[in-house]
Amino acid sequence: MKRIETAPVLPPLYARWMDALLGESVPHEPRATCDDCAMCAPAGAAEPSTLYFSPRVKCCTYHARLPNFPAGRATLERRIDGGVGVTPLGLVQSAAYGLLYEHGAAGFGRAESMRCPHYLEEGGGRCGIWRHRNGVCATWFCKHERGAVGLAFWERLRDLLMAVEADLAAWCVLECGLDADAMGVVFAFRRKPEERELLSSADLDGKADPKATRKLWGTWLGREREFYRECAERVEPLTWKDVLRISGPVVAARARVARQAFESLLRGERPARLTTGAFQIVSSGHEGVRVVGYAGTDPLDLAPGVLEVLPYFDGRPTAEALGAIRRELGIRVEKDLVRKLADFQILIPPSQRSHP
């Protein structure tokens, strides 16, 4: 995976829609330095262990589901031609991979058997469909400038983009005139999105099942690349207003939620009252301590003495806590530090505390 700092954060099509929704571009996450992966072991460190991601996969231990409208790229066309998980709604994970993924949390960032088919090893590892990656990939970062506030925003944006992808993919199927029998298969209700109760031998061997493929594609059979191209051509010129008109109420609702999360991200106010959160000290030394609050991939380094002031945040008004620290310890705690501690959930509003 590779991000280029000066490029828009989101794929161009999504950036255009989200700019229209939010009124401005979403910010970068500069500490997620994908070119020189922030989660891989620094030079000279021990081999990748539980602490680090493997440079051979980074965070791409995920077979990306793609809607039917990303434009052609070599890895995409290879995947379409392979026929596994190729449906009129888009490219889905194979049934066997779905099982692996469901039970493979420990392999995140490390297991090469789970690596995305669009991951290219060249150039230190990059995404082969960067400008067309899906909403999940576009919104995932290992580190967030605003900690949990940033994570919450990106998760709301991910949910919105996933709903947009689902609705536009269904719209494309209708627009492209898939025949009714095939549509019956494509839109059949399933208890689990991906699937069947038992894996077939084709599933286990990672091969396409010709009978199932025929049923899925109907009169479009054999013209899958053309189908995806036609979908991309229909979606590419859509404005955000068009997307809202075509999509259902879930997209409208998630758009509202994403806007609110964006406003919180921009506001950055200091909570009126704070108390200590449930954080972990992962290392300590002369230079301070490293703590993990809202996410294991995003620890926070604190200067010596910061831990000492935390007990003063006991739910009383934040201004009072700061005054007491100044009087009793002679330490002036900067506003920015308090906000950072709150963003990383080292300090939390008392209402979020789950224990007495």
> Quick check: helix, strand or coil at residue 287?
coil
Residue among 57 and 95 whose Cβ is closer to ligand SF4 = 57
The yes or no reply on residue 127 touching ligand SF4 (CB under 6 A) is: yes
Residues 11-50 that bind ligand SF4 (CB under 6 A): 32-34, 37-39
Q: Distances in Å between the alpha carbon of 142 and those of 17, 34, 246?
A: 24, 10, 33
Distance of alpha carbon 54 from alpha carbon 215, whole angstroms: 40
> Binding ligand SF4 by CB under 6 A: which of 14, 17, 119, 217?
119
The yes or no reply on residue 341 touching ligand SF4 (CB under 6 A) is: no
The piece of 84-92, 116-124, 150-158, 166-174 that touches ligand SF4 (CB under 6 A) is 116-124
> Applying CB under 6 A, what is the total number of residues that bind ligand SF4?
22
Distance of alpha carbon 296 from alpha carbon 29, whole angstroms: 17
Chain position carrying tokens 């051509």:
233
**Least separation, in Å, of the C-beta of 344 and ligand SF4?**
17
Distance of alpha carbon 58 from alpha carbon 88, whole angstroms: 30
Site string for ligand SF4, 61-100 (x = CB under 6 A): -x-x------------------------------------
The yes or no reply on residue 110 touching ligand SF4 (CB under 6 A) is: no
**Least separation, in Å, of the C-beta of 34 and ligand SF4?**
3
Listed in order, strand segments (DSSP E) in 245-309 are 273-276, 280-285, 288-292, 300-302
The yes or no reply on residue 161 touching ligand SF4 (CB under 6 A) is: no
The yes or no reply on residue 309 touching ligand SF4 (CB under 6 A) is: no
CB distance 41 to 65 below 8 Å: no
The yes or no reply on residue 220 touching ligand SF4 (CB under 6 A) is: no
> Quick check: helix, strand or coil at residue 67?
strand
